[in-house]
């Protein structure tokens, strides 16, 4: 079991797609999150128009603070939950789907590891790699926030408390775990990568956005939205603090505890269904 887990992690490390996804996360946090925020802030300060609208006084100060290292524990998971988590779905889908594409599922299953053992090793390896993704994303975010602080002329940089940092990383790990589990389940369901990633991204990007926009005027769609990954991810992130008013339009109003339970339920349900599919289906 330990040897199986070690090899699964080793495969991730040697696989180019793992590094590409990690690089995408780093670039996304650095440029789509911090650089874009900094750019918007500078534009606003200089009297221009940016996506945050007209800000002044307290609002502008809150916005500025949001980009500093102290607020990274809220800023980074907010960004990752909203935009980057679907990339983790790709990681989950690749970890399972590629095995069908290369037919290596046959090679591994005929060695004696057993279906349950193989699934457990793979799930744990995905958990390890998603944790690594969280660490890498936070490292990129903290470095970016430090650079922004320097650019803003902040002399004394305040860093987040370790406990808050761990909590924030734990929240992000749960969100990533839910997305990765969904990717794994879809790959088991379709026994491949293309369809599982395609449908996963349609769910993550198109379907959730559609339901979110329809939920404003419909209780039914609001209920559906309450069960979706993105809504519960942002509800959970809200437990880490309040985002500045500039972003409060999309601020979550849900219960973080309930959101954590729903995300955990996603993980458990996806893994149970994966075990069911993997355990019962023929490997042809």
The contact set with another protein (CB under 8 A) reads 3-4, 6-7, 10-11, 14-16, 102-104, 106-114, 117-118, 282-284
CB of 11 to another protein, least distance (A): 6
* Cβ proximity to another protein, 108 vs 144, nearer residue: 108
User: Both tokens of residue 182?
Assistant: 């969904």
User: Both tokens of residue 179?
Assistant: 């997305």
CB of 117 to another protein, least distance (A): 7
CB 181 within 8 A of CB 264: no
* Cβ proximity to another protein, 15 vs 167, nearer residue: 15
CB of 114 to another protein, least distance (A): 4
CB of 115 to another protein, least distance (A): 8
H-helix or E-strand containing 109?
helix 104-109
Distance (Å, whole) CA 215 – CA 222 = 4
CB of 111 to another protein, least distance (A): 4
Q: Show Cβ contacts of residue 138 under 8 Å, excluding neighbours closer than 6 positions.
A: 72, 76, 165, 168, 169, 172
* Cβ proximity to another protein, 4 vs 67, nearer residue: 4
* Cβ proximity to another protein, 111 vs 217, nearer residue: 111
Instruction: Give me the phi and psi of 244, to 5 degrees please.
Output: -60, 160
Q: Show Cβ contacts of residue 41 under 8 Å, excluding neighbours closer than 6 positions.
A: 50, 52, 60, 63, 64, 67, 152
CB of 126 to another protein, least distance (A): 16
* Cβ proximity to another protein, 118 vs 123, nearer residue: 118
Distance (Å, whole) CA 116 – CA 157 = 49
* Cβ proximity to another protein, 16 vs 47, nearer residue: 16
Task: Say which DSSP state 159 is in.
Answer: P
């Amino acid at each position: 079991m330990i040897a199986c887990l070690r090899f699964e992690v080793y495969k991730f490390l040697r696989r180019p797609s793992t590094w590409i996804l990690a690089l995408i996360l780093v670039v996304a946090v650095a440029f789509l999150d911090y650089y874009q925020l900094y750019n918007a802030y500078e534009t606003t300060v200089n009297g221009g128009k940016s996506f945050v609208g007209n800000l002044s006084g307290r609002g502008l100060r809150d916005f500025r603070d949001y980009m500093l290292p102290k607020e990274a524990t809220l800023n980074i998971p907010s960004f990752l939950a909203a935009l980057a988590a679907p990339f983790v779905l790709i990681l989950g889908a690749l970890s399972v789907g590629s095995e069908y594409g290369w037919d290596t599922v046959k090679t591994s299953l005929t060695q004696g590891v057993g279906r349950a053992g193989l699934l457990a090793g793979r799930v744990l390896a995905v958990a390890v790699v998603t944790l690594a993704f969280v660490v890498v994303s936070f490292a990129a975010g903290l470095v970016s926030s430090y650079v922004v602080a320097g650019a803003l002329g902040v002399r004394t940089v305040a860093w987040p408390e370790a406990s808050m940092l761990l909590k924030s990383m734990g929240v992000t790990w749960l969100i990533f775990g839910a997305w990765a589990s969904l990717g794994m389940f879809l790959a088991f369901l379709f026994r491949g990568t293309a369809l599982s990633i395609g449908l996963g991204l349609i769910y993550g990007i198109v379907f959730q956005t559609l339901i979110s926009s329809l939920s404003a005027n419909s209780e039914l769609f609001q209920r559906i939205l309450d069960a979706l990954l993105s809504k519960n991810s942002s509800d959970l992130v809200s437990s880490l603090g309040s985002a500045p008013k500039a972003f409060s339009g999309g601020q979550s109003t849900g219960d973080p505890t309930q959101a954590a339970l729903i995300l955990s339920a996603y993980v458990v349900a996806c893994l149970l269904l994966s075990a069911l599919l993997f355990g019962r289906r023929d490997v042809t």
